Homo-oligomer: A and B are copies of this chain.
């Protein structure tokens, strides 16, 4: 099961227990076991706390009585507040001008291996602005930039868009921890999986309109890698900050 599906479904499950005067402001998740798409998943939400300004929730997803996924979330009554971002949106071509998709990139990597596409068809449109042009084996250190959106129009309900953004945030983020080592997440012999995910929502936008995801590898050691990503609107406003750690190992050359 795709990690973004856990994030989005878990967020929706928590939203259903929170009064609609408050929006998600952060979430922290651990991926505990791979899910089986052929089994039903049960979702349990614990109402941890409802305060005047914030609500706290804890969510567990299970299959066959075993925990697959746990997430803690915080919701806030939105407030006007001083706005700041340490990062400007990178200067990039508009989404319409970018034709390479993320799937093309991952498929071209995989094509050098067993040639199989192991993923499922996903409801995302991802335009890869700067797919690595360096040959495999060469370290890639610059941030990786993608325009993303949900393909189909979503209903006009802000909470759905928060969940959809969480869905998008897991599409490619962890893959980047391989790049500084000249590796590709999809290459034969590379073994990787997401361990956790954190996301802070600075504002709330539509996820069926283009958002820029500015992603980079932060650090790797002990077969783990940490990546961070920032979402921006087309107008250059910072939407959300994400961080994810993944397991990564590969067969030695």
**Residues on the B chain within 8 Å of A78, using CB:** 222
Q: A70-B58, A86-B180 are in contact. Are A249 and B81 (CB under 8 A)?
A: yes
Query: Is the CB of A223 closer than 8 A to any CB of chain B?
Result: yes
**Residues on the B chain within 8 Å of A243, using CB:** 198, 200, 241, 243
B222 touches A203 (CB 8 A): yes
Q: Which residue of B lies closest to A204 (CB)?
A: B222
**Using a CB-CB cutoff of 8 Å, which residues 81-125 of chain A contact chain B?**
81-87
Q: A70-B72, A216-B86 are in contact. Are A196 and B28 (CB under 8 A)?
A: yes
B28 touches A81 (CB 8 A): no
A32 contacts which of B32, B49, B195 (Cβ < 8 Å)? B49
A222 touches B26 (CB 8 A): no
A220 touches B83 (CB 8 A): yes
**Using a CB-CB cutoff of 8 Å, which residues 217-253 of chain A contact chain B?**
217-226, 238, 241, 243, 245, 247-249
Q: A26-B245, A56-B32, A70-B72 are in contact. Are A202 and B226 (CB under 8 A)?
A: yes
B86 touches A219 (CB 8 A): yes
- Counting chain A residues whose Cβ lies within 8 A of the other chain, the interface size class is 35 or more
Query: Is the CB of A74 closer than 8 A to any CB of chain B?
Result: yes
Query: Is the CB of A67 closer than 8 A to any CB of chain B?
Result: yes
B25 touches A49 (CB 8 A): no
Give 24 A-B contacts (CB < 8 Å), ordered by A residue: A26-B196, A28-B30, A28-B72, A30-B72, A32-B48, A48-B70, A49-B67, A56-B70, A58-B70, A76-B224, A78-B222, A79-B222, A80-B222, A80-B223, A81-B221, A81-B222, A81-B248, A84-B217, A87-B219, A198-B243, A200-B219, A200-B226, A200-B243, A203-B222
